[in-house]
Amino acid sequence: MKNVIYLSHPLTNETPLYGGAKSINIFSSSFIRSGDTANTLNLTMPNHSGTHMDVLYHFFDDGDKLTDYDPSFWIFNHPVCVDVCSEYGFLVNYNDVMESVNNKTDLLLIRTGYEKFRREPKYWKKNHGLSVDLAKGLRIKNPNVRAVGIDFISVTSRLHRQEGRETHRELLGKHYSSDPIIIVEDMSLNNYQNTIAQVIILPLMISGADGAPCSIIAL
């Protein structure tokens, strides 16, 4: 069997959320040890919690929703991971990734190492971001890229919020002949290796959603 690893973080009550929100509540609702038939959990959380994706409807009222996608869309056979090391709040530009992306790339993963700060406030206060320049470059020069994933909390840096909004719209919009690019945020990329041949993203199938938590495996 091929080696398989996760590229997603498990959800917990301590999972960091954009803006420092504290709105995840995962708690046990029944216990075998208390005489119940089974152990069960109740979960309350925003749909953009933990490792999650943004689809077009997140920024466009007329955009595709999560359940509009064919299951085959979530299988990526030509992933590329690019290391971009920098200080906090850095906006990743197209020049930072252009040498690694080719005309076959369907999933671009950007690894900054910032996930090591996931338990600290600066993970959401001073996170990296993606620039509009990166979004435009991918849309125009690499039309086969269907998704971009990052190891920090959001495409939008809290230090560059307007840029982040514009980047979301540029990636998710329909401005060029290429298809929109789905966004996957708060990934776990520490263990990613260049020998990985396939990545499968498994979103929680919420009807009519603009995005959802997802489990991601790499082979």
Q: Identify the band that residue 100 occupies on the pLDDT scale cut at 50, 70 and 90.
A: very high
* Tokens found for residue 217: 């495996």
Strands (E), the chain: 5-6, 25-30, 40-44, 52-54, 75-76, 79-83, 91-92, 107-111, 129-130, 147-150, 182-185, 199-203, 211-218
| pLDDT, position 90 | 93
Residue 1 has pLDDT above 60, yes or no: no
Confidence check: pLDDT of 177 > 70: no
Q: What is the pLDDT of residue 131?
A: 98
CA dihedral 126, 130, 132, 138 (to 10 degrees): 180
pLDDT on residue 178: 74
- Burial of 201 from C-beta contacts in 10 A (0-12 / 13-18 / 19+): buried
Average per-residue pLDDT for the chain = 95
What is the average per-residue pLDDT within 9-35?
Answer: 96
Query: Class of 5-218 per CATH?
Result: alpha beta
Write down the domain spans for the chain: 5-218
> What local confidence, expressed as pLDDT, does residue 185 receive?
98
Distance of CA 128 to the CA centre of its chain: 13
- How far apart are the C-alpha atoms of 85 and 92, rounded to whole Å? 10
The pLDDT assigned to 87 comes to 81
pLDDT, tens digit, 9 for 90 and up, residues 165-176: 999 999 999 776
Average pLDDT over residues 82-100: 93
For residues 47-63, give the mean pLDDT: 96
Give the pLDDT mean for 133-147: 96
- Residues 158-167 have pLDDT tens digits of 999 999 999 9
